[in-house]
Amino acid sequence: MLDRRGFVAAALLTGAATARAQPGGQPIKLVVPFAAGGSTDLVARIVGEAMGSRLGRAVIIENRPGAGVITGTNSVARADPDGTTLLFTTVSHAVNPGLNSRLPYDSTADFVPVAHVATAPLVLSLHPAVPARTLQEFIGHVRANPGKVHYGSAGVGSVLHMAVELLKHQAGLDVVHVPYRGAAPAMNDLLAGHVQFIIDPISTSAQQIKAGAIRALAVTSARRSPSLPDIPTFAEAGMPDYEASTWNAILAPKGTSPDLVAQVNRAANAAVSDPAIIGRLEQLDIIPVADSTPASTAAFIARETERWTAIIKASGIALQN
């Protein structure tokens, strides 16, 4: 089985091969508003390759990171609605409207939802020095030490940040946010003990958990993770209403024809229904969503936007107002 570095290399190579192997028809540019090599990029390459083979067109990944996904997202909002430019987005698309009132695009009006392709559960992990072995013990520890427990995130508005804000809101916790420029430096400072906990995608935490470098307390999925079968869910650990994850969806620029949207939706659903693709995604602790429609994707994003906007307002956080 490939380790994560091998998986990254394989995904990059197969993505390039897809563009070369399918020269017929105008290529589809799938914009990923994150840097190459991250989990969103890997999922986009896996799904894009499989979609291309079904559409008979090359699907080329274009990484356009910057400004908390705004740069890449805005490029798609301004693209021609001819089906050749699509956005491969995450929960950040639902978070940003509540976080930033000066977005250069309207996250609803400027896009046509195409498909909800995957979800990625998270895991709450501690530095081993924290004296807690269960979620309830950790909550008790934080309540006994208000304002003294620090957590790391990939930046204001990142899923790592918002997941803890939700936990704070539901459990009534007083913890200190330490934002970093990405998940990797946040994890590095957790390993060094500079922050005490993190809520991070399972795919990026599992290796450190298995090595005993950090201690996992609960996963956010409805079922236990195959990668971490001994770690309870939040529901099992006493918080049945806690639900946080990142996810992946495909959006098109407004004005894209329903026929084109339907074609891409069918290709996306077929791609993530393929047992081979399911296996590759499961290696990354990604759960495929193989039955979405444009309407169900729109409803899902609307619910996510409403939910995270409420948490943002309750927490009083904002980038720009």
What are the C-alpha distances in Å from 156 to residues 72, 94, 320? 18, 14, 11
Q: What is the pLDDT of residue 204?
A: 84
What's the rounded Cα separation, in Å, for the pair 185 and 130? 20
Question: Is residue 162 within 8 Å of residue 245, measured between CB atoms?
Answer: no
H or E segment and range at residue 195:
none
Which residue has tokens 């790391």?
152
Across the chain, mean pLDDT equals 90
What's the rounded Cα separation, in Å, for the pair 93 and 108? 9
* Least confident stretch, 4-8, 38-42, 188-192, 299-303: 4-8
> Which token pair is 181?
């420029």
What's the rounded Cα separation, in Å, for the pair 247 and 286? 9
Q: For the segment 274-297, what is each residue's pLDDT rounded down to a tens digit?
A: 999 999 998 888 999 999 999 999
Which of the following CATH numbers is that of domain 4-120+246-315: 3.20.20.140, 3.40.190.150, 3.40.50.1700, 3.30.420.10? 3.40.190.150
At residue 318 the predicted structure's pLDDT band, cuts being 50, 70 and 90, is low
Helix axes 258-271, 294-315, angle to 10 degrees: 80
Q: For the segment 14-38, what is each residue's pLDDT rounded down to a tens digit?
A: 444 344 333 347 899 999 998 888 8
Domain ranges of the chain: 4-120+246-315, 121-219
Question: Is residue 71 within 8 Å of residue 64, measured between CB atoms?
Answer: yes
Our measurement of the distance from residue 298's CA atom to the centroid of its chain's CA atoms, rounded to an integer in Å, reads 17
Phi, psi of 133 (to 5 degrees): -110, -10
What are the C-alpha distances in Å from 197 to residues 38, 96, 97, 228? 21, 24, 27, 18
The length of the chain in residues reads: 321
CB within 8 Å of 228: residues ≥ 6 apart: 123, 202, 206, 209, 210, 216, 219
pTM: 0.85
Pick the closest to residue 204 from 274, 121, 273, 261 (CA basis): 121
What's the CATH fold of domain 121-219? Answer: D-Maltodextrin-Binding Protein; domain 2 (3.40.190)
Q: For the segment 109-139, what is each residue's pLDDT rounded down to a tens digit?
A: 999 999 999 999 999 999 999 999 999 999 9
Question: Is residue 258 within 8 Å of residue 249, measured between CB atoms?
Answer: no
At residue 183 the predicted structure's pLDDT band, cuts being 50, 70 and 90, is confident
> Which token pair is 272?
């993530």
- In CATH terms, are 4-120+246-315 and 121-219 the same topology? yes
What's the rounded Cα separation, in Å, for the pair 222 and 243? 9
Q: How many CB atoms lie within 10 A of CB 135?
A: 21
Is residue 282 helix, strand or coil? helix
